[in-house]
Structure 1
């Protein structure tokens, strides 16, 4: 089997230190995504999204930093995680194999919080929540083919605090300056003497935790002053000047700015004196930058066309670009990107979009990217012709475990759902000769963790959550027209609502109307004195764009209206399946008794429950699936048994076969095979996939495949290809295998395992085969606990 990745979607970790853009070598952006590191090229014209994912850490990745190699071919990536380890990865641009792990450091005793590296030297620093900062030297040969790291110094911070941010800079030919700050309101400045750093000054002024520090030279000259930017949860940025010599620099006019009012009194300009082995220096307060309305997470410098600019990102949903006014020298915000605070998106039940956690300049300084609370990246590029920043397509992904996924009935799009309380729709943007995968709609933004999803028709799906009921959603006209325009998915002529929104304090998506841009908002039959809720209408132009939607659209305008709720279960919904003709829905919930471990059936015309529910299991039913002709319904559960129910009338099912000891441990998934004689597969915690066939009055075990870990997902392709049956299975450790067998020889299964580099880092929750009418190649979609959704191409090896 040839197995290659087609698409990877994964959301970024909400940690200001968890991303970096490589200015040399790979030119890729690396970001922490759950326990993994995702690699993405934001400047890729083909918009291929996440290129690859590096697995290795055993806990959440908190800090990612590219070591400045200065080489156009070699990249060295440093990553730190909550597993207390620092990992060093090596990548070559010409190898095409991506990055490989070359060294793991276990010197810290607590989660790593930050990594800083110094260009032009081999020094890097790491901070951890054990209250220490460690200074390292990267030991390598000229082309970085062998890499090691030696610990130079361990600094215990006093008074003790967590270092949330670290910055390094060259002070002069003999010394390095180190700035450290975090869960206190002061900044500690260390200066190196020989190889050891000593505390030289403590800068006061901020009134909250400090989240970001960044050094730069004021001009490109080596002898120019160093500037340090600090960003804090007190909503302010401060600039500090490191000046060489006994004399103090000219007093900053910012202190006398009347606009600062009472703040001016707290801006002390006390000079802090520090010294290296060869020179004396002063550190003075330079400027206070006002403008953000909430915590500030990142601050980073760039030199562009002789101008010095500072990029900051904040919890107030904005990025700001600051520069000094040439006439007065006062620092002002020249550009603000992001969302106006008043416009909250419905990204959570409360409607908070949650701010920007990371902001990065591209290596050439012409683009900026930012990561928000929903795990999605946003990207802006500066157009010199129009003299403005334009938003462009970036990448999105789940930020918690992905629990369920399914293809639409015709295979044109993929739905995924998970513990981040969202359901997302992915499809292919088809343009000229190029196509790329993107998130096109976020049909459901919920207040409960979502567990399962299935398509009823191409325009309707059902999902189950931790709330005891199931919800049915219909595609709105705005989404249908967008998918037709961008993905070449045929639009329907059915009567559809225009769009949907979540009312304030509500959990149900309500249908709303779109109106023309020049149309007045009318109150209808309401009291004229009552204002119209602006969220209950949407302008037609809002849904009319020629590119995949940006995060702001996904979070606000691309919900699907909810049409039905299905009640009956007493606990959290565990599984849902829709019959192949779309007329029935079977559901189950978490259970520890036979009364709750029932399967409930609903018809999709009237949405009424068909009584009585199906009783056989004594514990949670983990998976349900209808056979291809809907003659049978298969259920498996934590009670280790599988049950086959047979259709005995138009809509009712009765117990036909069961095996209370189908596996020696709980059964976690099951799937029907498209063979003439009814055949199904079951996957269990006993590390086996078993193949069963219904014969004359009995069910026989025809074959078994053993895995190295508990098998948590199994799925059979919907058709026999070249006389071979194909199925995919996934394990608790993230491994994925493709099995093939002849329908006549089910005891002889050949298995191809997907390589570890392409596999998931955590449990596989669901696998779904794409229906073959869409792609000439076979494709599977995989949902995993590492928060990724992956699509793989599968073809016969040549």
Structure 2
């Protein structure tokens, strides 16, 4: 029985302060249109376990909690698609979409929950606040009632919501957003009304969070508010007719009449038994830039003061505690100090931390930055300090192309987020996991395509109309040899040590790593420096390393195209590359060939198409170059028979290969080297057989396989595990579907078909499929399929039982 399982998911986090939550062992975060689930405290470092698909636009807000009456775990998500999704965890641990709410008329910005009351609130860009009642039955039936819908006045967009229960049992809601005030809404029976406005901030309020001052049931409520004015403010909610200072003074004669409060102005909410005063408690000063999130951690110890975690655009997390004198101070700061930020994003500046979260135990914190990567720190009690731990990473825009190294040890991906990333295996003891090992290219243009050249080079094409060739540096080669067990020669004198990007530059410049002695005597430099020990790691690189020290130095630029590069392919022997660019006329719809020894263009350019060439592929023996395009035709170019020739000539073409544009092509392996496949917008995958003779070259159609949506990518498996007289073909569609067929080459019929189940499919169009080449060790040989998608994800599947 054919089956597929997910071995690895790389998915970056959405840059929205409300798009993540951590409850018990699970952390959920928005990744494009999806919701990623992973376990940060799991020591096997598997990373993302699953992606939940249900939204059709960016996920902006998440809350994960356990519903007290039913004891079921619930996930509430809000998206730019104007919908709120309610997810329920089933008995097998998987989340299922139970209900979708569509009452908002604009993008959902924030979700706030109060699990013990079954109440949650949502705020959206339609300037409304909606309050809901949630009920979950033991049979996992979900009922949601809209209690109240309020138009916020004066009109503003809510960006932060916090809910709490007063001692009287009434629910209070704090709302902040695109104005400097904080609005407090109080429950009166079944409805909420505006009870107070808290002033003091000087810019948008980005985060709100409630906590009890201690574990005592009658302790005061504390509200933390964080703003773009770089400050965090604390507010005290105190029950009773007396102000908290007076109440404290009555019990402690040593306290002055003003107590700890920084202001004696009080706001009053409620009446009778539910009357509360709201007073300004403290101003937390220490961040240098906008503060995006503020989260309380309440200790279980009796009378233990809570801690506050704030995340800021200044690339730091701050932990705030109250000292013995009652003053709030920054006890710990994690992240980057200003001097290390670098001159540009490429040389180090991460663009700030957008999210900061406590673990449920309080012994670990994580943050999400501009690069879409999670950083982690854990508290080491013996050393009494916070130590960095391994996080996870992924792209934050559509992944446009992927490519395996020739030996199958590394997978590279390139994306519209203007980065190229290299993934490899971390092998230790009996465990093997995949991680981002290097970020070879951090660019200023959207990257569209890439191809591996041999074991130490790759080429990428971007919207800048030229292609760039990169060499693998010694530092990354040594790291991969150490962690992945590769046997590459790390002493190759021709490889540079490392690379950096000059200020305001786009080209990665080769640099030599400093020895410890050289570092001690080196003059301060504007350019990023690296020591030989920087990447001498026993684990995959942290985000700091990836963003600064794992660039590949640039070897060459290839010019000639007049528009954005659309596709690139490298020959299997590594001696030539073929490229094409976007084109609306026959003049630019050419294929340019470059030889890789001196990187000169092999002229003349190849002509056959009249519109953009969408995909290029060399046959297994490099005898043929296949091209397909938006003009609905495929073209076959044959290598010149002259010895050592690099030229190709048009051998055959089919102007009506498909009835609509052709989007992808692939050659079968050496066992069927005359067979290629094409996939098109006409929802067909076609398999062709090449007949070549001295007189002419032709290609006959062997088989047409219909797909449920336009076929955006096709890939033949070329490894040794393919059965005799059989070819295995994978196809990805525009709706995210992936199908794998086992096809008999005797009568050209489909012997077996595997459709990847919907829960594992990407939620966006498939941009590239690539089978992993056979590994050097027989034990590694298994059919593995890498998938790049429009939904920001890179997925690696293991395909089994397809005979």
User: Which bin holds the TM-score, normalised by the shorter protein?
Assistant: over 0.9
Query: What SS does structure 2 have at the residue aligned with 1:199?
Result: strand
**Structure 2 Cα separation of the partners of residues 514 and 251 of structure 1:** 64
Aligned residues: 772
Equivalence for 1:147: 142
Equivalence for 1:366: 363
Query: What SS does structure 2 have at the residue aligned with 1:411?
Result: coil
**Structure 2 Cα separation of the partners of residues 307 and 247 of structure 1:** 22
**Structure 2 Cα separation of the partners of residues 337 and 184 of structure 1:** 29
Equivalence for 2:711: 711
Offset from partner CA, 1:99-131 (integer Å, 9 cap, x none): 111111111111111111113221111111111
Map residues 599-614 of structure 1 onto 2, 5 A cutoff.
599-614=591-606
CA contact (8 A) 1:512 1:536 kept: no
Query: 320, 340, 344: which is aligned to 1:343?
Result: 340
State whether structure 2 residue 118 is matched by structure 1 residue 116: no
Map residues 270-281 of structure 1 onto 2, 5 A cutoff.
270-276=265-271, 278-281=273-276
Query: 737, 740, 750: which is aligned to 1:738?
Result: 740
**Structure 1 Cα separation of the partners of residues 369 and 42 of structure 2:** 21
Change (3 A) 1:520 1:432: closer
Query: What SS does structure 2 have at the residue aligned with 1:486?
Result: helix
| Cα distance, 1:695 vs structure 2 | 2.2
Map residues 250-329 of structure 1 onto 2, 5 A cutoff.
250=245, 268-276=263-271, 278-304=273-299, 305=301, 306-326=304-324, 328-329=325-326
**Superposition misfits of 4+ residues, deviation over 3 angstroms:** 70-73, 266-269, 345-352, 520-523, 747-750
Query: What SS does structure 1 have at the residue aligned with 2:534?
Result: helix
**Structure 1 Cα separation of the partners of residues 672 and 317 of structure 2:** 60
State whether structure 2 residue 386 is matched by structure 1 residue 389: yes
Farther-moved stretch of structure 1 (535-544 vs 296-305): 535-544
Equivalence for 2:729: 727
Equivalence for 2:257: none
Equivalence for 1:262: none
**Structure 2 Cα separation of the partners of residues 489 and 792 of structure 1:** 21
| Cα distance, 1:540 vs structure 2 | 2.0
| Cα distance, 1:346 vs structure 2 | 7.5
CA contact (8 A) 2:752 2:802 kept: no
Change (3 A) 1:489 1:442: same
Farther-moved stretch of structure 1 (680-689 vs 644-653): 644-653
Equivalence for 2:254: none
Query: What SS does structure 2 have at the residue aligned with 1:458?
Result: coil
Equivalence for 1:217: 212
| Cα distance, 1:140 vs structure 2 | 2.2
Map residues 209-608 of structure 1 onto 2, 5 A cutoff.
209-250=204-245, 268-276=263-271, 278-304=273-299, 305=301, 306-326=304-324, 328-344=325-341, 348=345, 352-492=349-489, 493-495=491-493, 496-520=495-519, 532-608=524-600
Query: 53, 63, 66: which is aligned to 2:64?
Result: 66
Equivalence for 1:6: 7
Equivalence for 1:772: 774
Offset from partner CA, 1:429-482 (integer Å, 9 cap, x none): 000110111000000000000011111011111111111111111111111111
| Cα distance, 1:173 vs structure 2 | 3.3
Map residues 176-187 of structure 1 onto 2, 5 A cutoff.
176-187=171-182
Q: Alpha carbon RMSD of aligned pairs, Å?
A: 1.8
Query: 759, 780, 797: which is aligned to 1:792?
Result: 797
Query: What SS does structure 2 have at the residue aligned with 1:611?
Result: strand
**Structure 2 Cα separation of the partners of residues 59 and 193 of structure 1:** 36
Equivalence for 1:257: none
| Cα distance, 1:699 vs structure 2 | 1.3
**Structure 2 Cα separation of the partners of residues 554 and 160 of structure 1:** 43
Change (3 A) 1:387 1:173: same
Query: What SS does structure 1 have at the residue aligned with 2:512?
Result: strand
**Structure 2 Cα separation of the partners of residues 633 and 678 of structure 1:** 12
Offset from partner CA, 1:164-194 (integer Å, 9 cap, x none): 0000000123311110010000000111011
Farther-moved stretch of structure 1 (275-284 vs 464-473): 275-284
| Cα distance, 1:797 vs structure 2 | 6.2
CA contact (8 A) 1:231 1:299 kept: yes
| Cα distance, 1:535 vs structure 2 | 2.6
**Structure 2 Cα separation of the partners of residues 634 and 347 of structure 1:** 40
**Structure 1 Cα separation of the partners of residues 355 and 247 of structure 2:** 30
Map residues 201-212 of structure 1 onto 2, 5 A cutoff.
201-212=196-207
| Cα distance, 1:740 vs structure 2 | 1.0
Change (3 A) 1:50 1:499: same
Query: What SS does structure 1 have at the residue aligned with 2:391?
Result: coil
**Structure 2 Cα separation of the partners of residues 498 and 351 of structure 1:** 18
Q: Structure 2: 5+ residue runs without aligned partners?
A: 249-260
Offset from partner CA, 1:542-595 (integer Å, 9 cap, x none): 222111101010000110100111111111111110101000111111111111
Equivalence for 1:700: 700
| Cα distance, 1:71 vs structure 2 | 8.2
**Structure 2 Cα separation of the partners of residues 174 and 784 of structure 1:** 48
**Structure 2 Cα separation of the partners of residues 682 and 764 of structure 1:** 15
**Structure 1 Cα separation of the partners of residues 685 and 455 of structure 2:** 31
Offset from partner CA, 1:7-36 (integer Å, 9 cap, x none): 00000000010001123xxx2111011111
Offset from partner CA, 1:222-268 (integer Å, 9 cap, x none): 11111100000000000000111111112899xxxxxxxxxxxx965
Query: What SS does structure 2 have at the residue aligned with 1:556?
Result: helix
**Structure 2 Cα separation of the partners of residues 7 and 677 of structure 1:** 31
**Structure 1 Cα separation of the partners of residues 520 and 307 of structure 2:** 42
**Structure 1 Cα separation of the partners of residues 323 and 711 of structure 2:** 63
**Structure 2 Cα separation of the partners of residues 558 and 349 of structure 1:** 11
| Cα distance, 1:280 vs structure 2 | 1.5
Equivalence for 1:259: none
| Cα distance, 1:73 vs structure 2 | 6.5
**Structure 1 Cα separation of the partners of residues 335 and 119 of structure 2:** 35
Query: 626, 629, 636: which is aligned to 2:628?
Result: 636
| Cα distance, 1:350 vs structure 2 | 8.0
Equivalence for 2:253: none
CA contact (8 A) 1:138 1:149 kept: yes
Farther-moved stretch of structure 1 (429-438 vs 741-750): 741-750
Query: What SS does structure 1 have at the residue aligned with 2:626?
Result: strand
Change (3 A) 1:276 1:701: farther
State whether structure 2 residue 686 is matched by structure 1 residue 685: no
Query: What SS does structure 1 have at the residue aligned with 2:479?
Result: helix
Query: What SS does structure 1 have at the residue aligned with 2:393?
Result: coil
**Structure 1 Cα separation of the partners of residues 3 and 344 of structure 2:** 39
Q: Structure 1: 5+ residue runs without aligned partners?
A: 254-265, 524-530
Query: What SS does structure 1 have at the residue aligned with 2:180?
Result: coil
Equivalence for 2:256: none
Offset from partner CA, 1:189-215 (integer Å, 9 cap, x none): 111011111111100000000000011
Equivalence for 1:167: 162
Equivalence for 1:668: 663
Equivalence for 2:762: 760
Equivalence for 2:255: none
CA contact (8 A) 1:174 1:276 kept: no
CA contact (8 A) 1:684 1:711 kept: yes
CA contact (8 A) 1:350 1:505 kept: no
Query: What SS does structure 2 have at the residue aligned with 1:250?
Result: helix
CA contact (8 A) 2:454 2:573 kept: no
**Structure 1 Cα separation of the partners of residues 707 and 430 of structure 2:** 41
Instruction: Give TM-score, length-normalised by structure 1.
Output: 0.94
| Cα distance, 1:750 vs structure 2 | 3.6
Change (3 A) 1:239 1:252: farther
**Structure 1 Cα separation of the partners of residues 169 and 246 of structure 2:** 28
